[in-house]
Amino acid sequence: MSRPKKRDVALHAPLADEPSLDTQGFERPRAFMDDVDEDLSPLLEISNRPVVSARQFDRAQIVQLSRLAARYETQPQVINRPLTGKILISAFYEPSTRTRLSFESAWHRLGGDVMSITDPLSTGLAKGESLYDIGEMLNHYGDVVVLRDSNEKSIYEMIEALRIPIVNGGNGVDEHPTQALADVYTLLKWRPGLADPSCQEPPARIGIIGVPGQMRTVRSLLILLSRFASGIAEVTIVTDETQPFDPGQREELEADGLRIRVENDLDAVLPALDVVYINAIAWKGDDYEAMGSRFRLHAGSPLAEGAIVLHPLARGEELDRSLDPTPHNWYFAQARGAVFVRMALLSAMLKTYV
C-alpha cells in the first residue's frame, strides 16, 4: 500500500509572525486607548448579572468595555490572574470555534479554570433532564456559565435556576451579544472618534450583507450600532430577502437614531462604504442555512480604498481568501480582539478589572 503524499508545505521554514500590519487592525488598540478617558464606572452595572442581549449595553458601557479590552490587548503584563480559583462552565450545545475557545482563552488568561460541555448528549439532557435542573447543578460547580444553544429559549430556562451569571454565546436566530461587542471593539479601533459623540470625523457608512431578522450576529450588531448612531451616516443592508427584518425590528433601530437602507445590488453599493460586514450563516433549529450565496467579496470587488471588511466567521464562499492579504482584511483582527473583549466582559461581570 502506498503512503499518502505529504502536502507541499515548508516544514523547515520558521513559523510566520503574527500579522503586524496596522492596516489590518492588529496595531490599533493603543490609538483607541489614547483617545478615551479612563473611567470604569459604567462597568459597575454589568457586575453579577446575566448577559443575554445586546440591548443590555449602553454606549458608555460598550466604550469602556472596549477600552478595557484594549488595555488587555496592549498590556498583557498588567494582568495579575484575578480569576485564580474561579471556574467557567462553557456549555456549547451547538458547534463553535471562536466563541467557545475565545471565552475559554479569556478565562485562562485571567487565571481561572474551565469546564467544558461540547456535547449535550454527554449530560443529563440525553436522559430527558431539563435545562432548569442542569442550571441548578451548575450553581454548585462554577462561577460563570457561557451557553450556546440552537434553541433561543434555552438560556431563559437555565436562567430561572441560576444564581451565578450566564452569558449568551449565541441562542438560535435570536442574539449573539458578545460577538457584537467584538465587532464594535474592532470599529472603535478603526475609528476611535466613534466613541465620542462630539467627534467631527465624517460619519461612517456601514454596509451589512446579511439578514437582520434571521442572523443573530447581525441582530445584535445592529442593536449596538444604534448606540453609536450619531457617528454613522447610514447602514445599508444588502440582501435578496423581501422581508429581511422581524416585525418591529427596523422601527426600533430607527427610533434609536439609526438610518437604514435596504439594497440588493452589492457591487453598486460597495464603492460608497467605509465598513463592509458580511455573514452568510443563519442557525435554524439544529442546523444552519447559508443565505445570500450570490453576494461574494473577493480581491476584485469594488471596495473603496481604505474600506475595511468584517466577518464574524466561520466563512464560506461569500468571503474569498484572496482578500486575506489585503488591507481590507480586518476580520482576523476582529476575531483576535474577541478574546480581549471577552476578558473585559468577564472581568466586569466579576468586578476584577486587572
Give how far Cα 106 sits from Cα of 35, 147, 184, 349, Å: 25, 15, 18, 13
By CB under 6 A, what part of segment 160-179 binds ligand CP? 170, 176, 179
Task: Quote the least distance from Cβ 287 to ligand CP, whole Å.
Answer: 13
- The answer to whether residues 233 and 259 touch, using CB atoms and an 8 Å cutoff, is yes
**Strand extents, DSSP E, the chain:** 87-92, 113-117, 144-149, 166-171, 204-209, 232-238, 260-263, 275-278, 281-284, 287-290, 308-310
* Position 42 contacts ligand CP (CB under 6 A): no
Task: Quote the least distance from Cβ 265 to ligand CP, whole Å.
Answer: 27
By CB under 6 A, what part of segment 67-126 binds ligand CP? 96-99
- The answer to whether residues 126 and 138 touch, using CB atoms and an 8 Å cutoff, is no
* Position 312 contacts ligand CP (CB under 6 A): yes
Task: Quote the least distance from Cβ 324 to ligand CP, whole Å.
Answer: 17
Size of the site for ligand CP (CB under 6 A): 10
For the chain, the C-alpha Rg in angstroms (whole number) is: 20
Using DSSP bridges, classify how beta strands 275-278 and 204-209 pair: parallel, antiparallel or unpaired.
parallel
Of 96 and 347, nearer to ligand CP (C-beta) is: 96
Sort residue 147 into left (φ over 0), alpha (ψ -120 to 50) or beta.
beta
Angle at the Cα of 151 from the Cα atoms of 145 and 157, rounded to 5 degrees: 55
Of 42 and 212, nearer to ligand CP (C-beta) is: 212
Of 78 and 290, nearer to ligand CP (C-beta) is: 290
Of 28 and 98, nearer to ligand CP (C-beta) is: 98
Of 150 and 226, nearer to ligand CP (C-beta) is: 150
Task: Quote the least distance from Cβ 254 to ligand CP, whole Å.
Answer: 26
- The answer to whether residues 165 and 51 touch, using CB atoms and an 8 Å cutoff, is yes
Task: Quote the least distance from Cβ 140 to ligand CP, whole Å.
Answer: 27
User: With CB under 6 A as the contact rule, which of the stretches 52-60, 236-244, 308-316, 322-330 interacts with ligand CP?
Assistant: 308-316
Task: Quote the least distance from Cβ 62 to ligand CP, whole Å.
Answer: 18
At which residue does the C-alpha cell 509572525 appear? 17
Q: Cell numbers of 138, please? A: 451548575
* Position 332 contacts ligand CP (CB under 6 A): no
Residue 125 class from Cβ within 10 Å (0-12 exposed, 13-18 middle, 19+ buried)? middle
Of 215 and 350, nearer to ligand CP (C-beta) is: 215
Query: Which of 235, 276, 313, 350 forms a contact with ligand CP (CB under 6 A)?
Result: 313
Residues forming the site for ligand CP (CB under 6 A)? 96-99, 170, 176, 179, 312-314
